[in-house]
């Protein structure tokens, strides 16, 4: 339900497969490294020991470059 790009009824529908893949990759980076989950109270990357701090949106944008 987080990704509206999977439904064609919205304006966010990807017409090109490459754009769709990039959008999914950005979503997964945000979901795992920036979004604090209510049940575990940290990000999944912090819980798994992959990072020491929560990423901010500006860091994710810099990764895209």
Q: Which helix or strand (DSSP H or E) is residue 17 part of?
A: helix 17-33
pLDDT digits (tens, 9 = 90+) for 7-60: 666 666 777 889 888 888 999 999 999 999 999 999 999 999 999 999 999 999
Q: What pLDDT sits at residue 10?
A: 66
Q: What pLDDT sits at residue 16?
A: 86
**More confident site: 1 or 39:** 39
Number of separate domains in the chain = 1
What is d(CA 43, CA 45) in angstroms, rounded to the nearest whole number?
Answer: 5
Domain encompassing residue 17: 4-64
Q: What pLDDT sits at residue 17?
A: 87
**More confident site: 65 or 32:** 32
Structure tokens that stand for 12 in this block: 């966010």
Model confidence, pTM: 0.79
Structure tokens that stand for 26 in this block: 């950005």
């Amino acid at each position: 339900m987080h990704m509206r790009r999977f439904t064609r009824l919205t304006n966010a529908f990807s017409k090109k497969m490459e754009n769709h893949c990039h959008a999914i990759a950005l979503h997964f980076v945000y979901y795992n490294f920036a979004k604090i989950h209510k049940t575990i109270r940290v990000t999944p990357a912090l819980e798994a020991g992959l990072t020491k701090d929560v990423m901010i949106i500006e860091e994710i944008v810099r990764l895209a470059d």
